[in-house]
Structure 1
């Protein structure tokens, strides 16, 4: 696994140049046959996507993180062939060979680190974008999950993102340059935060305290004596990947999503602290105890009281079908501005109203119904492909939108059915409902 900046730069640079060359050659070949192919047809070929996913899986780090975000957040909104290929980025792939792993642990724990453990599984439980997770047992009997950061990942974030942005530009699907620069800057900030494991340890402790008496969840306990800024050691949380729960009964699947939906609303309106990364791998489910494990807090973000209040008002206006009020709040939230064209404003308004109409249409919201997804996809595509539209919401709003989209996609995966309207109405009016005594 490449750990030095120059090696990573060479990898992504060669990938970009290779795809550009192959795209031009394919374009020339088709033109010679009298065809007029679209740029996207030349670029988004199965061969090119496989090359991208293979290289990102090999490199890990910020490059893979952005690829995973694309596959997670947009997989259900992309063409089937492309979505299927990007699915590979969510699977476990390359991990550090034992010699490289040992080098990282010697640097963080010292040369005699193995003497602390009665068992240390060299093969990781999972290999994610920034680090891989190992299971181990200490001499004093602690059952642990140990997240080990890939060497060089933190130092290469800026160059990785610059190279991935160049891939976006090459694709022809990149947003306008100022928008792309803003998103790139925020991605750098987010990934530097996620690469700081001491910060994540603080997030875990804070979240555990705020979770308080809410039943049905478990958060790992940070092991201070074995944690550094590049190695995060936690108690092991038993359970299966949460999307495996698709094989559970309808009642269990509904319960899982109901609890996660209420927890997300608690994060927003009670905690003021939201875990914004909706990747399915960040949750586990224990069918024996029916407990949901909350596993990753690198992307936890504070939400200001003012933002939470605006979103509470937005929920209230949507549930009351007050369209004028929804438009007013959309401006205050930065979803668009007074300078946004009337056509674009109307399209954004229609998208928001569409979501609330679906919530209000039935006492039980069926996540397996694809009608809403298809309509949202069509509206989103129209906005995204319009060269005259360059409005993006504030970053804080984008993180919360991502959280909501992740829960929606999980609901689709679980084919859950929830009394979503009733749940939202509980949170529209203060105070936030008492959760410590509620069991789902």
Structure 2
């Protein structure tokens, strides 16, 4: 049937329904906010946060993912809000078996079940944009089938509008940061996450970039059982990071080193980063000796000069050269800069780069809990930007900063003690922006991304 053949077409009616549904759910949170502002006691923020999380959880889809994403940005939301919203993806309810059968038939045809020896009726995992089912192929190979929810294209366009409204309100109320570039960046990445054909290419890209690192495993996609909205890949399993929090210091340090190379080698060598360091997106294997890296929907491919700016800022901070830091921010694409703003930005840069500038074995942030990583520094920066800003943050900064904060929190959970300066210097050996650009072009061409 026509609807089953193309259930994702971006119908105006679907967008209007989505907007009405999201608006209705959020209005409940708004009422809760108003009531608690007037009548709330000490726990009013927690009550508002629970109401907002409940409202967003009912929407399912992109806006829920955005909320989870924003919860990882230090001090963007109050701590109570961040804690509630960070649970949204983990608590997403799965769609039932009748839905799954309809969606699989739409993607692989009426005989889709004959392509599998077994197919799990219950979802192994459900998230904001789709759910995963465990299956077995006729040759005995175990696979994961990542199936997108219906009408997600309509949902994205509707929710992007809601996101613009939310962050527009934030801009008027806060005034420290102009979030328009952030909105554009998050919106573009959301649209990319709907394209499972592109995600397959991202997986192949990561298999190529990390092929020399035998400690990390990237699942292989099954092309003949994948479409634009169905991604079939190897089934992989492993332990959670929290399972190793009481392991020996040597084991925990080893896991932290492998996390470092898995995230930052693609960045410094190919200008590519996995933009979602969510704890559910990697698994620990072989007693801490290996990693599985998962979920390649949110991959950020940067212009090479942006990575050059990251390296330039590192070297400028190392040399305590203020003018060079100013030039590095301009190279990144920061707008509305002046000397006062650069001094403020250097506070945040000093925090993010701090472990890289300190040539010793150390924690990534002494005396800081994982959930508080970056929050105090972000609060200080935001307060100063309200007086001297606003500053327009380049869109490329969003996911690089998110990855740095997410991995820093993972290092804190592990209690890792490493010489981060030496690790970063090793990753920069022979760094040349022109060579990086050529390497990126070759790798993207090899997997069909250009």
Alignment of 1:245-264 (within 5 A): 245-264=244-263
* Match 1:349 to one of 346, 349, 372: 346
Farther-moved stretch of structure 1 (340-349 vs 233-242): 340-349
Farther-moved stretch of structure 1 (50-59 vs 251-260): 50-59
Report deviation, 1:205.
Answer: 1.2
- 1:172-210 CA deviation, whole Å, 9 max, x = no partner? 876669934433333221111011000100111122122
2:406 match: 406
- Can you give the 5+ residue segments of structure 1 that lack an aligned partner in the other structure? 31-36, 433-440
Report deviation, 1:26.
Answer: 5.0
The alignment status of 1:16 with 2:39, answered yes or no, reads no
Farther-moved stretch of structure 1 (18-27 vs 97-106): 18-27
1:382 match: 383
Report deviation, 1:387.
Answer: 6.6
Farther-moved stretch of structure 1 (188-197 vs 122-131): 122-131
Structure 1 Cα separation of the partners of residues 166 and 248 of structure 2: 43
- 1:378-416 CA deviation, whole Å, 9 max, x = no partner? 3234246x1752213221232222222221121122221
Structure 1 Cα separation of the partners of residues 183 and 326 of structure 2: 29
Shift in CA distance, 62/360, structure 1 to aligned 2, threshold 3 Å:
same
Contact 2:18 2:154 in 1 (8 A): no
1:367 match: 364
2:391 match: 391
1:56 match: 56
| CA-atom RMSD in angstroms | 3.0
Q: How many residues align?
A: 416
Contact 1:124 1:134 in 2 (8 A): yes
TM-score, normalised by the number of residues in structure 1: 0.84
Report deviation, 1:420.
Answer: 0.4
Structure 2 Cα separation of the partners of residues 352 and 22 of structure 1: 37
Contact 1:242 1:284 in 2 (8 A): yes
Shift in CA distance, 118/205, structure 1 to aligned 2, threshold 3 Å:
same
The alignment status of 1:196 with 2:195, answered yes or no, reads yes
What SS does the corresponding residue of 2:88 show, helix, strand or coil?
helix
1:304 match: 303
Shift in CA distance, 213/341, structure 1 to aligned 2, threshold 3 Å:
closer
What SS does the corresponding residue of 1:214 show, helix, strand or coil?
coil
Shift in CA distance, 360/308, structure 1 to aligned 2, threshold 3 Å:
closer
- Can you give the 5+ residue segments of structure 2 that lack an aligned partner in the other structure? 1-7, 9-13, 433-450
Structure 2 Cα separation of the partners of residues 168 and 124 of structure 1: 33
What SS does the corresponding residue of 1:248 show, helix, strand or coil?
coil
- 1:322-358 CA deviation, whole Å, 9 max, x = no partner? 44422332232234x5x43543321112332344455
Contact 2:18 2:155 in 1 (8 A): yes
Farther-moved stretch of structure 1 (49-58 vs 14-23): 14-23
Structure 1 Cα separation of the partners of residues 327 and 365 of structure 2: 32
Structure 1 Cα separation of the partners of residues 172 and 358 of structure 2: 35
Report deviation, 1:257.
Answer: 1.4
Report deviation, 1:77.
Answer: 7.3
Structure 2 Cα separation of the partners of residues 279 and 189 of structure 1: 19
Structure 2 Cα separation of the partners of residues 375 and 55 of structure 1: 28
Structure 1 Cα separation of the partners of residues 312 and 178 of structure 2: 28
Structure 2 Cα separation of the partners of residues 88 and 345 of structure 1: 35
Shift in CA distance, 111/147, structure 1 to aligned 2, threshold 3 Å:
same
Farther-moved stretch of structure 1 (111-120 vs 401-410): 111-120
Report deviation, 1:28.
Answer: 5.7
Alignment of 1:106-125 (within 5 A): 106-125=105-124
1:231 match: 230
2:126 match: 127
Contact 1:334 1:394 in 2 (8 A): yes
Structure 2 Cα separation of the partners of residues 148 and 86 of structure 1: 23
What SS does the corresponding residue of 1:15 show, helix, strand or coil?
helix
TM-score, normalised by the number of residues in structure 2: 0.82
